[in-house]
């Protein structure tokens, strides 16, 4: 498995409390995420972005400590997060990418970080990506039968078709569902595990699964 962590620009108060200890997996940084990682004592393997959120002195610090910087123009169609994720999944051929700093703050940034996974270039790889913050663990799934394991401390389980979905079945959660079809996005919140794992399936579409706690 080739695994990377990716820090993007969301507020630090939504980071998991143990973020600074996540040093066994190499890091990629999007824009100001590079400086934030350096402040935590973590040197990213790659930093990507236009770096317009950094002062001249801050950029000099990043340039002095990060060996691989990928510069982007400021006026572009892609966000720095998209550029960093594309780098991880294509050039670095990551089999798992965990996004931190992708939630909280501006709602347009949150939705962009979620909806980018539905882009045709990312969709085939979406099951390799996780979005994690202090309260939530989000993953996307493609059609098939899937079994997920309950994460430590996560008491709630939610299923959210993000597209039209057919045949959604929840086999062994507290609230079950059998062969249901939906033509638009919908959220099934506040479900729960009844054992250490849960199995679900669907025939077409994309489903987000969120584990969370209060």
User: For residue 95, how many other CB atoms are within 10 A of its CB?
Assistant: 12
Please tell me the predicted confidence (pLDDT) of residue 80.
92
Please tell me the predicted confidence (pLDDT) of residue 20.
85
Read off the pLDDT of residues 94-109 as tens digits, 9 standing for 90 and up.
999 999 999 998 999 9
Q: Look over the chain and give the mean of its residue pLDDT values, rounded to a whole number.
A: 95
Residue extents of the structural domains in the chain: 1-134, 135-214
Read off the pLDDT of residues 139-175 as tens digits, 9 standing for 90 and up.
999 999 999 999 999 999 999 999 999 999 999 999 9
Taking alpha carbons only, the member of 170, 120, 116 closest to residue 145 is: 170
Superfamily of domain 135-214: Thiamin pyrophosphokinase, catalytic domain (3.40.50.10240)
Res. 17: pLDDT tops 90:
no
Please tell me the predicted confidence (pLDDT) of residue 151.
95
Res. 1: pLDDT tops 80:
no
Tell me which CATH code domain 1-134 carries.
Answer: 3.40.50.10240
* CATH topology agreement for domains 1-134 and 135-214: yes
Q: What gap in Å lies between CA 30 and CA 40, rounded to an integer?
A: 15
Read off the pLDDT of residues 32-69 as tens digits, 9 standing for 90 and up.
999 999 999 999 999 999 998 899 999 999 999 999 99
């Amino acid at each position: 498995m080739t695994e990377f962590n990716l820090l993007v620009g969301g507020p630090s108060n939504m980071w998991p409390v143990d973020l600074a200890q996540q040093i066994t997996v190499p890091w990629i940084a999007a824009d100001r995420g590079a400086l934030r990682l350096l402040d935590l004592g973590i040197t990213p393997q790659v930093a990507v972005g236009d770096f317009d959120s950094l002062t001249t002195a801050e950029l000099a610090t990043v340039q002095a400590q990060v060996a691989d910087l990928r510069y982007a123009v400021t006026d572009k169609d892609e966000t720095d997060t998209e550029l960093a994720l594309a780098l991880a999944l294509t050039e670095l051929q990551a089999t798992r990418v965990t996004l931190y700093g992708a939630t909280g703050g501006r709602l347009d940034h949150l939705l962009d970080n979620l909806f980018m996974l539905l882009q045709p270039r990312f969709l085939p790889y979406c099951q390799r990506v996780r979005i994690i913050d202090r309260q939530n663990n989000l993953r996307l799934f493609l059609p098939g039968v899937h079994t997920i394991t309950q994460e430590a401390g996560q008491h709630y389980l939610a299923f959210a078709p993000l597209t039209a979905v057919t045949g959604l079945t929840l086999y062994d959660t507290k609230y079950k569902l059998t062969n249901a079809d939906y033509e638009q996005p919908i959220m099934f919140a506040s479900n729960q595990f009844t054992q250490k794992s849960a199995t679900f399936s669907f025939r077409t579409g994309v489903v987000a699964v969120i584990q969370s706690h209060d």
